[in-house]
Amino acid sequence: MESPTRPVTIIGSYLSPYVRKVLAVLHLKGIPYRIDPIVPFLGDDRFSAISPLRRVPVLIDDAVTLADSTVICEYLDERYAQPAVLPQGAAARAQARWLEEYADTRMGEVFIWQLFNQVAIGPHVWGRKTDEEVVKKAVEVEIPQVLDYLEPQLPAEGFLFGQVSVADLAIAVFFRNAAFARYRVDAARWPRTAGFVGRVLDLPCLAQLRPCEDRMLRTPLPQQRAVLAEMGAPLTEESYGTDRPRPGLMKL
């Protein structure tokens, strides 16, 4: 297996849970990268060409261009084997893939589109008023359903498969966006989930992303790249971003 040498390029905002998952894998494996921190709504025509669904993250390296976080993580794990982010054994690997799929789909639907989209993306990108009924249903109905499923799946201590896996990362990254929307897991009702999320988000591969995330949350979109440059973020020389938002094929 190869050792990482030249930086890969990642396209996508620090505030995306899918980008956050991929960046965590890069940090775990010690793979250098440069980032073009755009939100997908602001991607130009070149972005559409490499991400036909207009979604992030996109990975570009010397071998391939990929536009799906799960595919990217599996590619990185196959090309740069250590430390592995998929567990050993067919059953464990299948379970890890399922939990990542559950996170990317069901948790994405609830935590991003029903919560974060309502309080952050809609108002700040599209100028739309928050639909408080959607947020209320997410907090009172949809998120508890997710947590009721996760609670018996997650370990009381440590991680899902002994060492940190992509499944651990995929689940935990959505709770970071929930925190941006001021949602916290009720540790009395879901103690395993609360403990697990705290352990994973405190891992260095995720914790070191917090300064950029927190700053982006407080910075208007047109100013974000300049602010990240001042912070010393590993930015690409050029950007696929534009100043005119468009939805493309993404759900709003």
pLDDT at 59 over 80: yes
Q: Which two tokens stand for residue 4?
A: 């990482």
Q: Does any domain span residue 193?
A: yes
Rounded Cα distance between 93 and 152, Å, is: 19
Average predicted confidence (pLDDT) for the chain: 92
Q: Are 39 and 125 in contact (CB under 8 A)?
A: yes
Q: Do residue 108 and residue 189 come from a single domain?
A: yes
Q: Are 165 and 77 in contact (CB under 8 A)?
A: no
Cα 202 to Cα 189: distance, rounded to the nearest angstrom: 21
User: Domain range holding 196?
Assistant: 90-203
Helix (H, G, I), strand (E, B) or coil at 242: coil
What is the C-alpha separation between 192 and 159, in angstroms, rounded? 11
Query: Are 16 and 71 members of one domain?
Result: yes
- 144 domain-assigned: yes
Statement to judge: residues 110 and 57 lie in one domain? no
- Whether residues 116 and 157 share a domain: the answer is yes
Judge if 94 and 187 occupy the same domain. Answer: yes
In a domain, 242, yes or no: no
Q: Do residue 43 and residue 142 come from a single domain?
A: no
Q: In what order do the strands lie in the sheet with 8-11?
A: 33-36, 8-11, 58-60, 65-66
pLDDT for residue 185:
97
Report the CATH number that the domain containing residue 50 is assigned in CATH.
Answer: 3.40.30.10
Q: Are 65 and 134 in a shared domain?
A: no
- The predicted pLDDT at position 131 comes to 80
Neighbours of 37 (CB within 10 A): 24
Burial 109-144 (b: 16+ CB within 10 A, else e): ebbbbbbbbbbbbbeebeeeeeeeebbeebbeebbe
CA–CA separation, 96 vs 100, rounded Å?
A: 6
* Residue 108, domain member (yes or no): yes
- Asked whether residue 1 is domain-assigned, the answer is no
> Using CA atoms, how far apart are residues 107 and 170, in angstroms rounded to an integer?
10
Find, among 57, 84, 70, the residue nearest to 1 by Cα. 84
CATH number at residue 176: 1.20.1050.10
State the pLDDT at residue 228. Answer: 97
Amino acid at the residue 199? R
Residue 249 has pLDDT above 60, yes or no: no
pLDDT tops 50 at residue 252: no
Q: Are residues 68 and 96 in the same domain?
A: no
- Judge if 138 and 187 occupy the same domain: yes
Is the model more confident about 145 or about 249?
145
Q: What are phi and psi of 165, to 5 degrees?
A: -125, 170
Do 198 and 103 belong together in one domain?
A: yes
Q: How many domains does the chain have?
A: 2
Angle at 159 between CA 19 and CA 56, to 5 degrees: 10
Helices and strands per DSSP (H, E), number in the chain: 11, 4
Cα–Cα distance measured from residue 66 to residue 52, given in angstroms and rounded to the nearest whole number: 11
Describe the crossing of helices 166-180 and 90-102 by its angle, rounded to 10 degrees: 20
pLDDT average, residue stretch 171-182: 96
Residue 248's pLDDT band (cuts 50, 70, 90): low
- At 4-53, the pLDDT tens digits run 778 999 999 999 999 999 999 999 999 999 999 998 888 999 999 999 99
Residue count (the chain): 252
In a domain, 240, yes or no: no
- Tell me, yes or no, whether 59 lies in a domain: yes
- Are residue 115 and residue 174 in the same domain, yes or no? yes
Residue 1 banded pLDDT, cuts 50, 70, 90 = low
79 and 144 co-located in one domain:
no
Is 62 within a domain? yes
Least confident of 78-82, 108-112, 117-121: 117-121
